[in-house]
Structure formats: C-alpha cells, structure tokens
Amino acid sequence: MRFRSLPFITVLVTLSGLPCAASSSAPEGRYCGKLFSSGEIVAAETTFEFDQGGRITGHYEFRDGNVVTDGWLEEADRETGRTHLLIWHDRYGQGQLTVTFDRDFGSFDGYWGTNAPVPDHIWIGERCQEPIS
C-alpha cells in the first residue's frame, strides 16, 4: 500500500512547489484583459512597470475595429497601495485611468475617462499566462 501512494505524494509535493504566475508583490508585468472602446468591449493588453522615481508607467494595446491602437500610461503622483491614478495617452487624446489591483497583483479592475470627474468606462486585466514552451 505504501508504494502505491508514493508517486501520488511525490506529484503533490512537486506541484505545490511551483510558483504561481498570478502571485506578485507589485503590479509590474503584462495583463491581458478588456476595455470599453467605441461602444463595445474589446481585448486589451496592458503592461505596468516602475520608472526611476518609483511611479507606475506602462503601455497598452487594443484593437479598435481593424486598427490596433497603442498608448502609454504614467502615474499622476507616486502612490502606494493597490489603487493608482494613471494618465493614459493615445491617438484619441488623453484622460484618467483609475486601477485597483487585487491583493496579490494578479488582476486589476479599472475605469477610464476623458473629461468626466470620475472615469466610468471599464478597463480590466489579469496577468497573462506565459506559454509553457
């Protein structure tokens, strides 16, 4: 009996030692998600990093019809915690993006806008899963 259960125990021990791709103590990285653009929800990829001053910066890409729109992000003021106010810039102009990351920075919920006092268009993402090979 003991020999039959040994391979199963080995697999459990091995799997439990694998790092979780969604776990992190900072928002740096690539997030796959969606945002509201031109009246519909479209796929988006957002990347966050830190500049030399410790502020979040990044870039994003989404498909708007048959056109791919690229843009960049910069944190308005250096903030700590899970909620950050960013400024987005792309071919349409600029505006605000408020993002709130979950506890392990595996995903974020965000809202963007242009001239509205409170951004209200959805922008969400979760860490992109890297290919295995």
Q: What is the pLDDT of residue 79?
A: 84
**Secondary structure element (H or E) that encloses residue 71, with its range:** strand 67-75
Distance CA 127, CA 32 (A): 6
**What's the pLDDT tens digit per position in 29-74?**
999 999 999 899 999 999 999 999 999 999 999 998 889 999 999 9
Q: What is the pLDDT of residue 47?
A: 97
Distances (CA, A) of 74 to 10, 91, 96: 46, 16, 10
Count of Cβ atoms closer than 10 Å to residue 102 Cβ: 12
pLDDT surpasses 50 at 24: yes
Count of Cβ atoms closer than 10 Å to residue 60 Cβ: 23
Average pLDDT of the residues in 104-117: 92
Which CATH code is given to the segment(s) 26-127? 2.40.160
pLDDT surpasses 50 at 110: yes
**Residue 97: both structure tokens together:** 């993006």
pLDDT surpasses 80 at 19: no
